[in-house]
Amino acid sequence: MDKMHRFYCIVLFVLLIAGMVFITGCTTSQAPAEKPNLNLYVAAGMKKPMDVIVDKYKAGSTGNVTPNYGPSGGLYTQITLGQPCDLYYSADWMYIEKLQNEGRTSEVHKFLKDYIVMVVSKTGKSKGISSPSDLTSKDVVVSVADPAAPVGAYAENALKSLGLWDQLTAMGNIKTRPSTVNQLALMVQNDEVDAGFVYSSTANLYGLDVVDKFSHDQTGEIVFGAAVIKGGNEAAAKDFLAFSLQNAGEFTAYGWEPYA
């Protein structure tokens, strides 16, 4: 009787294990495959049109796309520190060249052109600010982005070309150095400063009042570029890059110009 009891116990145990294996196998086979993830690093000023492109791309793709927006210099630093990035859009071609020289890219493209403009707030208009020379008046509050953001470096170049940079810094009229062009645009829009310097495309995005526009001779050539980063999801990155180039109209609608 004991032998028979042990026999049945063994048979029951074997059947139980077999059933568990079968169920596990079915569960595994029925589970959907994990969607590949594409990590984008994108200059903050490109956010609005890039969000549209990301949504368009995701509508026709099975993969996940995760955009991370920030100042181009800060994003470049994150890439060099090994943070996960598959495709990088920079507001300064210099950062693309640096990554290329460091052997971190498998493909690069000059994408768009832009210009620096001077914008004024409602208070700035009421103070009669209509040109860069008006910024040297007493009690004028000026915002120039941090030079880690390309827009800040370009704006400094423009003011230096006019011989105004040293005077403005000595007077203390440059009160804020925000880290992104979007932050600066919001400060002008919300009447927190009298005047500031942003991209022409950003002024269009935020509906800001433009009083002056600077040539590339004054600012340096402003080229927005893109780079596929080695070692990441390169196939998906190249596919998305091609898609964004095909949909460049989302950018030109806001004042960017295609890079010819």
Does some domain include residue 195? yes
**What is the length of the chain?**
260
Residue-level pLDDT at 63: 83
Here the CATH number for the domain that contains residue 190 is: 3.40.190.10
Domain range spanning residue 206?
Answer: 116-219
Instruction: Answer yes or no: is 15 within a domain.
Output: no
Whether 87 and 213 share a structural domain:
no
Q: Quick one: which of 87, 90, 60, 226 has its CA closest to 153?
A: 90
Same domain, 205 and 243: no
Note whether 139 and 169 are same-domain residues. Answer: yes
Are residues 126 and 205 part of one domain? yes
Residue 39's φ and ψ, nearest 5 degrees, are -95, 115
Residue 25 is assigned to a structural domain of this protein = no
The confidence score (pLDDT) of residue 36 equals 66
Residues 209 and 121 in one domain: yes
In a shared domain, residues 199 and 124: yes
The pLDDT, as a whole number, for residue 170 is: 97
Distance CA 14, CA 16 (A): 5
Domain assignment present for residue 1? The answer is no
In a domain, residue 28? The reply is: no
Are 138 and 190 within one domain?
yes
75 and 165 housed in the same domain: no
18 domain-assigned: no
Predicted local confidence at residue 22, as pLDDT: 45
Q: Report the chain (260 residues): mean pLDDT per 10 consecutive residues.
A: 53 51 45 66 95 95 91 95 97 96 98 97 98 96 94 97 98 96 97 98 96 98 97 96 96 90
Same domain, 148 and 175: yes
CB 156 within 8 A of CB 144: yes
Do 107 and 227 share a structural domain? yes
pLDDT of residue 62: 80
Pairing of strands 37-43, 87-90: parallel
Residue 11 lies in a domain: no
Residues 191, 172 share a domain:
yes
Asked if residue 127 and residue 102 are part of one domain, the reply reads no
Domain count, the chain: 2
Please report the pLDDT score of residue 21 as a whole number: 47
